[in-house]
Chain A
Amino acid sequence: MSMAIKIVPTDARYAMLRRSRNLRWDNKAEAAAEIEMCETAEQAAEALQRIVSAGLRPTIRSGGHCYEDFVVNNPGGAILDLSLLTNVAQAGDGERYRISPGQQLGEVYLDLYKRHGVTIPAGSCYSVGAGGHITGAGYGVLSRLHGLTVDWLSAVEILTVDSKGHVALRRVDKDHEPDLFRACRGGGGGNFGVVTGFLFDRLPVAPFEVTNAHLSFDWTTMTEDNFTAIVMAFGDYWAKRGRDAETWGLFAALGLSHASSGRFGISLQFCNPDGRCDDLKPMEEFLDRFQEFGPLEAASSASGDKRFPSRNPAARERVGQYNIERLLWLDATIGGSGTEQSGRAAYKSSYMKQNFTLAEAKCAYKHLTRTVPGVNLRGSVMAVDSYGGAVNAKELAEVTSACQRSSIMKLQFQQYWDHAEEDAGRLQWMREFYTDLYSQQVEPRYAGTPYPNEYYEGCYINYPDGDMLQYAFWPQLYWGEQDLYPFLQGVKRRYDSNNIFHHKMSIRA
């Protein structure tokens, strides 16, 4: 058996491979001492055993898109890099579909489509690795139609380290070590072991085609009344009409960029439940809601959202009063979404169970139009994604570790910039915005967070935010306040009693 490729600081590749994509975490003092590049599960097992036996801490990387420093903050430790572990066919899989942790989502879409004509309802960024994405639940543009990726998951192959420090390869499913299997269905990466394969008995057929459309709004002429009305019209759709199954093929994102960017916008993708676009009325109905606010027709996403590429201008057509793009699904899914972005970044998230209140919309307006002397807030976005639909099948909360099954919108607060000198000002603005927004409709003891209640459903573990660690109740933000977190703690005690796999937001047993 060949060994993993070991990258040490004297290797020319080390400077590149030790880094996080998010340059906020580019701290040499906290860097791992080695990177083990694994092409097979056997290599990963051998490397993991070496790492554990040497008293090093392993952290796991598939695509390297972790928002926090879970992987790269590993002083003196070892990164187990699975980005070369991309095999998709393996003897014994039978009819199952296999996804390997090192596959990028774009590769997964291409492979599943070309081989089988199926897909997974996962994220829209081409280069995100399957390993971290799926263990954290995995959602994307097709999730309202088909649910979360882990809702379809049938089995997981995972390397665990037993209580004596020995590495073992397990294949877990609903009948074999079902607790560990459930924990891998949304509990989050870097907690229980090293996933070397995801297996699916069945997957949804990929849509034949989709339509995309974009609206944008001019910040320079925007009033607070108009802004709040747009935001609430968006939320109202998902709170009411968006619950109807015929709309589940509609996914929309309201990209609320900071006013300094000039415009904000709405981008959407649509298909009928059968994966075709014969009846566009639900989409038109949605777009109609915003006519009174004087939208500008945008050729592509005005919010910088890469999920809705303008791939094929020839495919534009007029539907009613709207210019839309009709694209074959793979074109819409792959085209342009692989944009590599590496710089400094910060993220926060929330799940919303109801439409925005007027006070929330006003709060967003206040902060998105606020200027801070000496602080450039371009690159700041509050992205409001439609949610719910098939995701909200309540029974799936019991068999997965994705507990948020009542939300209609999912928010991702994002900031991107280049220079370390901007860190403090930008982060302070973002924290103030978030804290202000989530101090209105929560109990005072949970102020500053979307703590689960009648309005909110916490945060998404694949959008981890270290700021939440200031709250003793941070696990309840990500895994709810019911029995999921205690369940995950039990799995952690059983399968990783020595806490070999840990990062700052891992399950604390």
Chain B
Amino acid sequence: MQSDTRSRRWTRREFVRGAAGMVALQQLHQSPAEVPLQRSAFAYVASGEGSLHVFSLRDEVWSRIQRVPSRAPACILLSPAQRTLYVANEVEVHEGLPRGTVEAFNIDPRDGRLTLLGRQPLSLSATCPRHMALSPDGRLLAVAAYGGGLYNLFPIAEDGSVGHPSSIYKEAGCGRHAQLQASAHPHTLVFDANGRHLLSSDFGSDRLSVFAVEDVRLRRTMQPFAGEGSGPGACALHPAGTTFYAWHELENTLACYRYDGSSGILGERIQRLSFPGSAGGAHSTKALALHPSGRMLYTTQATRNQLSAWRIDAESGSFSHAQNVLLREATPTQITVAPDGKNLYVLDGVRGSICSVTVDPSTGQPGRKAKVALVHEPRSLVLKTI
């Protein structure tokens, strides 16, 4: 791993400035005629039963208003303007060929309902996509095909539809776990704040990657080793763009790395925290998410019925334990933090529920919790707030 001597520490002022820039960028893509008629919040949930569930949210009361068929939806994303919903379909075969698909749905700005805009196949052998990332300007969709060991980059048209892959990157690699790491398994993708680089974790090869996004093509610039048998999985980039957090699923550790967005260099590991239990064991589902303030990191492990909150040091990016929130009889599999930072949602992919946890929007400190919806095998959740 290269050390990052040029990285700067994130400051609160810089973060607020960056966030304001993001809002302005989103507004650029939203014409006056497209401004929602009313301020409503909607939740979109990918369900393993093969559907997308649409909920209307009023005063934290979730009312299901639509259920739309979708093959094995594993990950969903909202466009920056929140007019389009993207879905990664974790399928092995599409129209007889070994490849997954992504779907785009138009979102009705008035009632939040979904209409299928199109379905785009991934490249050959890009099977079982589980994760995606949208570039900050919403013009590129990156997809990690866990099964086939490929990355696909798609251009997004003005109407939100997904084009043919502009870049196909075939990964190769393995780890020491004979069954789980026999080949590369791209796990999670994150664009950095300026969209010039894409960061990824590869569960199968024990490696992280940084790709330069050049002329709608991917070029790998570095591929640091995360440790023998580490199994890098869920990961996220701090809102300031200076620290990269990752679960190392197989060895059951949580780690963070320095990152310099200007050069695209993923630097030295800042911290590595081991958890007791399944080191070297079977692949279990671990999730993490960051509070928009950048002050708190949240993690879950499917083997533990709790949400852990970790306070982030503004200077170093390191994390320290702040609080556990007990989730009774739950198998937490995914976390989503509301864009306004007032709530986070824990998905129980086994028992089929969604739990809301209130959060202090300035500190990220978790508060009270409540079950808000029942969805069969929820895989992914996003919130539309504008």
Contacts and interface: CB of A to CB of B under 8 A. Distances in A.
Interface of A: 29, 52, 55-57, 73, 75-77, 161, 163-165, 466, 469-470, 474, 493, 497-500, 502-504, 508
A498 B169 contact: no
B182 A76 contact: no
Nearest to B167: A76
B123 A75 contact: yes
23 contacts: A29-B164, A55-B151, A75-B164, A75-B165, A75-B168, A76-B167, A76-B168, A163-B172, A163-B173, A163-B174, A165-B172, A469-B96, A474-B96, A493-B182, A498-B171, A498-B172, A498-B174, A498-B183, A500-B170, A502-B125, A504-B96, A504-B98, A508-B98
B39 to A, nearest CB: 42
Q: B-side binding surface: helix, strand, loop or mixed?
A: loop
B97 interface: yes
A470 B168 contact: no
B220 interface: yes
A469 B96 CA distance: 5
Contacts of A504: 96-98, 124
B149 A498 contact: yes
A497 B167 contact: no
A57 B183 contact: no
B217 to A, nearest CB: 8
Contacts, number: 69
Given A76-B167, A77-B168, A498 B124 contact: no
A465 B125 CA distance: 18
Contact of A163 (B123, B148, B183): B183
Contact of B183 (A29, A52, A499): A499
Contacts of B182: 163, 493, 497
Contacts of B169: 55
A502 B183 contact: no
| Interface size range on B against A | 20 to 34
B125 A161 contact: no
B98 to A, nearest CB: 6
A164 B183 CA distance: 8
A168 to B, nearest CB: 13
B144 interface: no
Nearest to B182: A497
A500 B98 contact: no
B173 A498 contact: yes
Nearest to A56: B170
B96 A55 contact: no
A466 B95 CA distance: 11
Contact of B172 (A77, A161, A469, A502): A161
Contacts of A470: 96
Nearest to B97: A504
Given A29-B164, A76-B217, 17 more contacts: A55-B151, A55-B220, A57-B125, A76-B165, A76-B167, A76-B168, A163-B174, A163-B183, A164-B174, A164-B205, A497-B183, A498-B173, A498-B183, A498-B184, A499-B125, A502-B125, A503-B124
Of A76, A165, A508, chain B has the most CB atoms within 10 Å of the CB of A76
A133 B27 CA distance: 58
A498 B171 CA distance: 8
Of B97, B148, B172, chain A has the most CB atoms within 10 Å of the CB of B172
Interface in B190-213: 205
Interface in B23-60: none
Of A497, A499, A503, chain B has the most CB atoms within 10 Å of the CB of A499
B218 interface: yes
Contacts of A161: 172
Contacts of B124: 57, 73, 502-504
A57 B97 contact: no
Contacts of B165: 75-76
A328 to B, nearest CB: 46
A466 B149 CA distance: 24
Given A55-B220, A499-B149, A504-B124, A164 B172 contact: yes
B187 to A, nearest CB: 15
Contacts of B183: 163, 497-499
Interface string B70-110: 00000000000000000000000000111000000000000
Contacts of A165: 172-173
A135 to B, nearest CB: 19
Nearest to B174: A163
Contact of B97 (A29, A469, A493, A500): A469
B174 A55 contact: no
Contacts of A57: 124-125, 168, 170
A32 to B, nearest CB: 11
A29 B166 CA distance: 10
Contacts of B168: 57, 75-77
Of B96, B169, B218, chain A has the most CB atoms within 10 Å of the CB of B96
Nearest to B96: A469
Of B151, B167, B184, chain A has the most CB atoms within 10 Å of the CB of B184
B173 A55 contact: no
A503 B151 CA distance: 17
Contacts of A75: 123, 164-165, 168
Interface in B135-154: 148-149, 151
A149 to B, nearest CB: 29
Contacts of B172: 52, 161, 163-165, 498, 500
Contacts of B184: 498
Nearest to A30: B164
A474 B97 CA distance: 11
A493 B174 CA distance: 12
Contacts of B149: 498-499
A499 B125 CA distance: 8
Contacts of A55: 151, 169-171, 218, 220
Contacts of B174: 163-164, 497-498
Interface string B159-189: 0000011011111111000000011100000
Contacts of A500: 170, 172
A29 B168 CA distance: 13
What 3 A-B pairs are tightest by C-beta distance, nearest first?
Answer: A165-B172, A469-B96, A163-B174
A474 B98 CA distance: 13
Nearest to A77: B168
Contacts of A76: 165, 167-168, 217
A466 B184 CA distance: 28
A483 B192 CA distance: 48
A164 B207 CA distance: 12
A76 B151 CA distance: 13
Contacts of A508: 98
